[in-house]
Amino acid sequence: MVALKLAACGCGLALIYRNSREAAQSTAAAARAAGVAVSVIRADVSDEAQVRSAVEQTVRAMGRLDILLNLASGYERTPAPRAVDWSNAMDTNARSAFLFSAAAAPIMKSAGGGRIINFSDWLPVSGRPRYREYLPYYTSKAALKGLTESLALELAPEILVNAIAPGPIIAPPELSGEENAEVLRATPLARWGGAEEIAKAVMFLIETEFVTGECIRVDGGRHLF
C-alpha cells in the first residue's frame, strides 16, 4: 500500500527484498502500471556490503535518492530468548535501518536534502512492554526509536528523520474471534486501521517541512488504555 501510494504520486521506486521475491515483483508490476520506474533489488538488510550495494544500485537506476523507508521488520515470539534471537531482532529491526540511513544520508545531503522514515511499534514508543515473551522484539523496536531521534539530530537540517509506530493495523489471519474482540475493546477507535492509514502517515512525513525526530503512533488511540 505504501509503495503504491508513492507510485500514484509519481515517485520512482526501488523495492529491496530478501526472501519475499514474489511480493516485491507483484508490487513492482502494479507500480509500473501506474507509470513510474521501478527497480527490484535483493539484499540481506543486515549485511553492510549488501546494503551499500543496494543503495548504489538504486541511485544508478533512479538517478537520485530522496526518500528512504526502513520497513524491514521481524516479529517473533521468544519465550526463552537466546543470543541468536537477540541478534536476529536487533539486526533486522534496528541495525538494518542504521545501515541504510548511513549509506543514504551522504547522497541525500549532496542533493540538498531528503526524508528517512523508520518503523517502530506503538508499545516501545509508549514505553510499555505490555506483552510477555517478546523481549528481543520490544528492545529492538525501542532501539529504533532512539536511532530515529539521534539521526534526526545528526542529519539536520538537510534530512528529516521520523518514525511511524503502528498499532492494530491489519488483523493476523490466525486471530480468534475472542482475541479480535479484545483488540477492538482496547482500541478507542474500535477498529483495525488498515494499511491505508500507514500510507497516509508516510505521506505526511514526506510532505512536512518542520517535523523531525518524531515517532508517530498510528494506533487508533490504543496507547491511551
Which residue type does 147 have? L
Q: What is the pLDDT of residue 217?
A: 98
Confidence of residue 130 (pLDDT cuts 50, 70, 90): confident
Mean pLDDT of the chain: 96
Residues contacting 216, CB < 8 A, separation 6+ = 162, 163, 164, 165, 201, 204, 205
Give tens-digit pLDDT for 19-66: 889 999 999 999 999 999 999 999 999 999 999 999 999 999 999 999
Residue 225 has pLDDT above 90, yes or no: no
pLDDT of residue 151: 98
Q: Cell 534526526: give the residue.
A: 152
Q: Look at strands 215-218 and 13-17 and give their pairing.
A: unpaired
**Looking at residue 128, what is its pLDDT?**
87
Q: What does the pLDDT average to over 164-175?
A: 95
Q: Is 134 a catalytic site residue?
A: no
pLDDT at 119: 97
pLDDT tens readout for residues 71-107:
999 888 899 899 999 999 999 999 999 999 999 999 9
pLDDT band at 70 (very low <50, low <70, confident <90, very high): very high
**Is residue 111 very low, low, confident or very high in pLDDT (cuts 50, 70, 90)?**
very high
Catalytic-labelled residue, pool 75, 131, 134, 137: 137
Contacts made by residues 206-212, CB under 8 angstroms, sequence distance 24+ = 206/67, 206/115, 206/117, 208/160, 209/160, 211/160, 211/162, 212/152, 212/156, 212/160, 212/161, 212/162
Whether pTM > 0.75 for this model: the answer is yes
Q: What percent of the chain has pLDDT over 90?
A: 93
Alpha helices in 41-121 (DSSP H): 48-62, 83-90, 96-110
Domains of the chain plus CATH, in order, are 66-224 (3.40.50.720)
Which pLDDT does position 106 carry in this prediction?
Answer: 98
